[in-house]
Amino acid sequence: MFDVLPNYGHVRDLAARSGSVRPDDDFNMVWEVPSAAWTHLKSIKVALSGDVTATGCLRDDINVTRVVFNEITESSIKASLQSPREIDANLVHAYLARRALDYLVGFNISPLLWRKLPCCQSAGRVQSSSLSLICDREMEIDGFKPQEYWTVLVEFKKNKNLDLTKNFLSSHLTYFDTKKLSQFSVSSHTEAMEIEGKINSSNFEVSSNITKKQRNSFPPYITSTLQQDAANKLDFSSTYMMKLAQKLYEGSNGLHISEKTTKDIQSYISERYGQNFASKNGHNYFKKVKNAQEAHEAIRPTDIRRLPSKLVGVLDDDALKLYKLILSRSMACQMEPATIEQIQVDIGKPDQSIIFRSSSSKVQFPGYQAIYEDTHPPPRYSKGSLVKTLEELGIGRPSTYAATIKVLKDRNYVIAKGRTLYPEFHGRMVSIFLSHYFTEVTDYSFTDDMETELDNVSAENYWTRFSKYCEHTGNVHIHQVEKLLEKTFGDFLFASLPNESRACPSCLQGTLLFKVSRFGAGYFIGCDQHPKCK
């Protein structure tokens, strides 16, 4: 009944120049067709009108509707074509408002940044929040004050009645003088030695507690969680992962799995691992993130029986690795929880004034862990954990995360060392500048709140507030920006000066200040007697 033609992404975009969004003209927008899209657009025009030169392609007898499918499979697409619906104008307006504000934020902040911090290049809505997350974490690390603490570990020799596999049982002190110990309770070597003396002169007895704990599987992949696991398990960058994923799927970004697919996955799990591994009733997952696009199907194989071994030679090595990851997660989400036996042994004095604790665990039933291993991200932001945080905070869209991280690296705002992201000083300057003069933009709730307002189709309020930020910042002198940065980073910038003195070593009269190059060359330490002092 239909000819189906792909449009290969957006067929138009805002013109990449100033004035493409006009707030004073009812937010009128200037669009253009990217050169790569013209070929596909012409094909669609010919199919509609038979004439590539035609301007008004849609004849009066052509009915325009929208079809929605949540998975790219034959059955789903055919079913969607049987149930077309009208285009929702409110959703279209929300998209236009979001696109307009992204443009206005970028095209208004960036010129101010060039004038106030000439060595820095640009700032955008999602980009600014992402940079702020990385820089705020670095500030926490910088402000960390080391504190001395001691832990007390003891090895108890087991007797023949204690059914433990090793000759010695290692245990750590949890209670002393009937008080529960925190990490910093024992703060000196002297205290530790006093505790050791009391322990050596005491007798202890054992009490044990065995518990079982279930560990549930993870939901199926969406774009952001696939980026996280690809970074943590395969060491793929977000950009590279997205390129590979395009070979495998198009547009999946929800947690929904169709009933037919769920049954297929459970059937295959039962065949391969046994019936007790497959989820009895099937697991349904839902996003808890605000503004989530629930209708989308999860990222999964279209056929669970299309095993990686069948795709050797069809996919390159890295694409095959990513496919294996997607396949394993898709199966794991429909498997029974893992059952972990946790053994806790408390060893203490009869009066319980001193208690030691040992613990171990053993897998009783592997469940989903038979195919999928858990991930533990590093404490500093990695590419994967940054993506996870952005999604949890409702900042941006998963499809933009890879491009956002790439921009931060290309601008020399952050640097990647292995999997970990470190802010460069350029990036830290931009983050402080934005958080001080554009508080609402870098506030983590800004983007999330804005998404809510956009879904209610009300962009004007945001533009009114934002334009006031721009007007105020435009009147700020660059010396004020330098003083702000000097106050924030003074300890770091002047750390190498002898005796913490800022006296100019050249003229011996002036004071050293933090300066930003007016010619975009960077930043430097200069004398306040310039130009008298060189």
- DSSP character for 297? B
What is the pTM assigned to this prediction?
0.59
Torsion angle, alpha carbons of 84, 89, 91, 94, to 10: 160
pLDDT higher than threshold 50 for residue 292:
no
The predicted pLDDT at position 16 comes to 83
The band of 480, judged by pLDDT with boundaries at 50, 70 and 90, is very high
Question: Which tens digits make up the pLDDT trace of 178-234?
Answer: 889 888 899 999 999 999 999 988 888 887 777 778 888 888 888 888 888 888 888
pLDDT higher than threshold 70 for residue 415:
yes
- DSSP character for 336? P
Query: If DSSP states are collapsed to H, E and C, what string results for 35-94?
Result: HHHHHHHHHHHHHHHCCCCCCCCCCCCCCCCECCCCCCCHHHHHHHHCCCECCCHHHHHH
Mean pLDDT highest for which of 91-95, 123-127, 183-187? 183-187
Question: Which tens digits make up the pLDDT trace of 160-177?
Answer: 555 555 677 788 899 898
Q: How would you classify residue 500: left for phi > 0, otherwise alpha for psi between -120 and 50, otherwise beta?
A: left
**What does the pLDDT average to over 284-291?**
56
Strand partners, 29: 21
Average the pLDDT over each of 64-78, 180-194, 278-292, 338-352 and give the range with the smallest value.
Answer: 278-292
Residue 71 tokens read as: 């998975």
Q: Based on the number of CB atoms within 10 Å of its own CB, is 2 exposed (0-12), middle (13-18) or buried (19 or more)? A: exposed
